[in-house]
Amino acid sequence: MTTSIEQAPLSADIAIIGGSGLYQMDALINKRHITIDTPFGSPSDDIVLGELAGVTVAFLTRHGQGHRLTPSEVPYRANIYALKTLGVRYIVSVSAVGSLRESLQPLDMVIPDQMIDMTKQRVSTFFGAGAVAHISMADPLCPALAELLTRAYDNADVVEGTSHSKATYVCIEGPQFSTRAESQWYRQMQADIIGMTNMPEAKLAREASIAYATLALVTDFDCWHPTEETVSADYAIKNLMKNADNAQKVIKEAVALIAAESPNSVAHDALAQALVTSVDMMDDATKTRLAALLPKH
Ligand SMILES: CSC[C@H]1O[C@H](OP(=O)(O)O)[C@H](O)[C@@H]1O
Ligand SMILES: Nc1ncnc2[nH]cnc12
């Protein structure tokens, strides 16, 4: 790992991954930009370390400054690995989503508890090349962190919309939005919200033993709805801009709660239960590549 500044320690327990519309956290103070290289390439952008609610947090913009990376181009493995090297144990992902339900309205926030992965062309594991792990994804979003996000929403002074929990996020490849037939099919699959980025992000976070939960900002009704406007990037972004301030209020409350409670997560010892290959049997290149992830002996 190389960093652009030589200050120590460069570490944070909590990270925020900002999606569409959240390219910086206005309330972060004492900021330091760090450039991290990983065995899986460079992250989407520099990671910004700063203080929020008196706590050091790492902020990473998922699509890079200026929103230059499509959902398929986001370097998910490098992003998660870079956060792991900083010591991150909790990730709050912030994402724009379409609603697949009448009850989930634009400007509402949703804290999902389930996911369906419909992506087609993304590398979704750190493993391979002589190292095998089969991680449990039964509960892909950390239940403890998701519950905490719900309380954070209640503590925050959110002026528009309401919050919803226990929803299913379907992740499509994109960058195109869905067809009407697909949108109806996802509804039949019991998906509630639709996005393009949270897989394989959630899988990789679990492989890295990091608790991961999502604050999903509803921007549109996708294209299934008989009367509401069909989604377009322009329409989604207009609603996102209205919601970005509210999202930052919730994040600030969440950071304070995580720091106060350090919730136990199913994710924190996930790899210990999932690694099939003994570390002694891995070759040196594989051990070096996975160094930040493997259990310390
Ligand atoms: C601009 S709307 C479509 C775009 O927004 C979502 O990204 P993110 O999860 O990073 O907020 C969606 O997945 C698409 O990438
Ligand atoms: N309708 C939609 N489909 C996929 N990703 C989205 N992000 C925001 N709205 C979306």
Atom of ligand 1 nearest to the CA of 95: 11
pLDDT digits (tens, 9 = 90+) for 111-122: 999 999 999 999
Indicate if 37 belongs to the active site: no
Nearest ligand to the C-alpha atom of residue 177: 2
- Cα 91 from Cα 83, distance rounded (Å): 9
Q: Which residues is 33 bridged to in the sheet? A: 48
Three-state SS string over the chain comes to CCCCCCCCCCCCCEEEEECCCCCCCCCCEEEEEECCCECCECCCCCEEEEEECCEEEEEEECCCCCCCCCCCCCCHHHHHHHHHHCCCCEEEEEEEEEECCCCCCCCCEEECCEEEEECCCCCCCCCCCCCCECCCCCCCCCHHHHHHHHHHHHHCCCCCCCEEECCEEEEECCCCCCCHHHHHHHHHCCCCEEECCHHHHHHHHHHCCCEEEEEEEEEECCCCCCCCCCCCHHHHHHHHHHHHHHHHHHHHHHHHHHHHHCCCCCCCCHHHHHECCCHHHCCHHHHHHCCCCCCCC
pLDDT in tens for each of the 297 residues of the chain?
444 444 445 899 999 999 999 999 989 999 999 999 999 999 999 999 999 999 999 999 999 999 999 999 999 999 999 999 999 999 999 999 999 999 999 999 999 999 999 999 999 999 999 999 999 999 999 999 999 999 999 999 898 899 999 999 999 999 999 999 999 999 999 999 999 999 999 999 999 999 999 999 999 999 999 999 999 999 998 898 888 889 999 999 999 999 999 999 999 999 988 999 999 999 999 999 999 999 875
Distance in Å, CA 10 to ligand 1 centroid: 29
Distance in Å, CA 285 to ligand 2 centroid: 39
Strand 114-118 to 109-111 pairing: unpaired
pTM, two decimal places: 0.96
Its CATH architecture, for the domain 95-290, is: 3-Layer(aba) Sandwich (3.40)
Q: Does the C-beta of 220 come closer than 6 Å to ligand 2?
A: yes
In Å, what is the CA distance from 241 to each residue of 20, 207, 214, 227, 234? 9, 33, 18, 23, 11
Q: Which amino acid belongs to residue 32?
A: R
List the domain boundaries for the chain: 95-290
pLDDT digits (tens, 9 = 90+) for 256-277: 999 999 999 999 999 988 999 9
Q: Does the C-beta of 110 come closer than 6 Å to ligand 2?
A: no
Q: Does the C-beta of 197 come closer than 6 Å to ligand 1?
A: yes
Q: Which of 20, 231, 243 to mutate to test the pocket of ligand 2 (most atoms within 8 A of CB)?
A: 231
- Cα 296 from Cα 267, distance rounded (Å): 16
Nearest ligand to the C-alpha atom of residue 175: 1
ipTM score for this prediction: 0.99
Tell me which of 117, 222, 269, 280 is the catalytic residue: 222
CB 169 within 8 A of CB 198: yes
Distance in Å, CA 11 to ligand 2 centroid: 33
Binding site for substrate: which residues?
196, 220-222
Atom of ligand 1 nearest to the CA of 217: 11
Distance in Å, CA 226 to ligand 2 centroid: 17
**Dihedral, 285, 287, 291, 293 alpha carbons, nearest 10:** 130
Q: Does the C-beta of 222 come closer than 6 Å to ligand 2?
A: yes
* pLDDT recorded at residue 9: 56
Indicate if 222 belongs to the active site: yes
Q: Does the C-beta of 196 come closer than 6 Å to ligand 2?
A: yes
Atom of ligand 2 nearest to the CA of 220: 9
Atom of ligand 1 nearest to the CA of 177: 3
- Cα 54 from Cα 219, distance rounded (Å): 31
Q: Which of 192, 222, 229, 234 to mutate to test the pocket of ligand 2 (most atoms within 8 A of CB)?
A: 222
